[in-house]
């Protein structure tokens, strides 16, 4: 028998991703997800018994995606300045392609903070180890003593905020889609400069 399972499950997750992102958990309708996946409601429940199950699967996937990527790049073994450039440029690029993820996570965070914590516990990389590694790096390269947490949060903020707040900012700036993409593209260069300014010994 053909293994349609894999394919369909994939299709469902993809559809759920879209709809949950568009409407949030409460706003999303199982029927809408089924339609989006090109299947029917009964089959949807056949695969993921409940709405919660389905949501959890989607949420955890998004969460893993965003954090493994981040922590992996921080952990890579290249000189700091180079690493910073890579990190920021890759991360922004990732968000350009998966712009739904940060907003999705932030939204859910507002409504179910507990869920975040539970998902964190199952994460493949430990944040505290990443911070330790960042610290060592900065010590080795004789950089300005900075709170690594503050560094971490600054990078994240500068990369993620423009993506999350895009609908608003694009309107404030009166930018077309292309203009805004270009604007973000430019930031792949300016953000590393800005960050290096703050940690380079004067």
Question: Which residues lie near DNA (CB under 7 A)?
Answer: 1-2, 4-5, 7-8, 28-31, 38-43, 45-47, 49-52
- Among 2, 4, 97, 110, indicate the residue that binds a copy of itself (CB under 8 A): 110
Residues 112-131 contacting a copy of itself, CB under 8 A:
113, 116-117, 120, 127-128
Residues 5-44 contacting a copy of itself, CB under 8 A:
21-27
Each residue of 51-60: b (16+ CB within 10 Å) or e?
beebbebbbe
Answer with the entry of DNA, a copy of itself, none that 76 interacts with (C-beta below 5 to 8 A by kind): none
**Site residues (CB under 8 A) for a copy of itself?**
21-27, 103-107, 109-111, 113, 116-117, 120, 127-128, 147, 149-150, 153-154, 156-158, 160-162, 164-165, 167-169, 171-174, 183, 186-187, 190, 193-194, 197-198
């Amino acid at each position: 028998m053909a293994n349609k399972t894999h394919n369909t499950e994939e299709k469902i997750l993809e559809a759920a991703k879209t709809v949950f992102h568009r409407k949030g958990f409460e706003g999303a309708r199982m029927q809408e997800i089924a339609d989006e996946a090109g299947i029917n409601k009964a089959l949807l429940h056949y695969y993921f018994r409940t709405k919660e199950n389905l949501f959890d699967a989607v949420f955890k996937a998004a969460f893993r995606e965003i954090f493994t990527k981040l922590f992996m790049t921080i952990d890579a073994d290249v000189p700091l300045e180079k690493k910073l450039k890579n990190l920021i440029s890759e991360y922004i690029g990732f968000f350009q392609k998966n712009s739904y993820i940060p907003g999705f996570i932030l939204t859910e965070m507002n409504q179910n903070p507990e869920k975040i914590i539970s998902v964190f516990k199952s994460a493949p990389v430990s944040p505290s180890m990443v911070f330790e590694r960042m610290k060592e790096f900065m010590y080795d390269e004789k950089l300005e003593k900075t709170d690594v947490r503050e560094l971490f949060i600054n990078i994240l903020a500068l990369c993620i905020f423009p993506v999350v707040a895009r609908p608003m900012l694009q309107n404030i700036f009166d930018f077309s889609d292309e203009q805004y993409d270009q604007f973000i593209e430019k930031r792949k260069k300016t953000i590393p400069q800005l960050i290096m300014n703050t940690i380079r010994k004067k």
